[in-house]
Amino acid sequence: MPHAGTARGGKGATHVLAQTSGSTQAQGDRRRGEELARRVLVVEDDALICLDTADALEQQGFVVHTALSAEVALRGLREGLGVDILFTDINLPGAMDGTALARAARELLPELIVAYTSGAVQAVGNAVAGSAFVPKPYDPERVGRMLGAMRAPALVA
């Protein structure tokens, strides 16, 4: 279950923008004649929750990228990281929280599917249109099924 691209900062800080190790084949394969595997960016500052969620999503056929902060996630998106879905914790360390990340990400990728999670709040203030909310604790397999069923928001012309 190793994840590539982990970089450790000072005082125990870990910043990750990685693709899970087993998802390379999923990128090129079609899932039993269906659509290409969907690409999800999981942004979660708790490394264990992040890895558990990433592993469960990967087992469901998603191509998974992870980040432990909004800033790292946004940098990856600005550098061209291709994702279809953003699954982000709301309460993240640093200057940007999950709601600000979602707004910035949606500006870059207007068709991005967004789902939020939090153990501290029960609803999202300032959520992007068409998004979903999952309270913690959650079952990562159920999250995967929910994300798989979500569709891109309709673009207003």
Domain coordinates in residue numbering, the chain: 38-149
Angle at 41 between CA 50 and CA 153, to 5 degrees: 130
What's the whole-model pTM score? 0.80
Model pLDDT for residues 106-143, shown as the tens digit of each residue: 999 999 999 999 999 888 989 999 999 999 999 999 99
The CATH number of the domain covering residues in 38-149: 3.40.50.2300
Phi first, then psi, for residue 56 (nearest 5°) are -65, -40
Listed in sequence order, the DSSP H helices in 29-69 are 47-59
Model pLDDT for residues 44-67, shown as the tens digit of each residue: 999 999 999 999 999 999 999 999
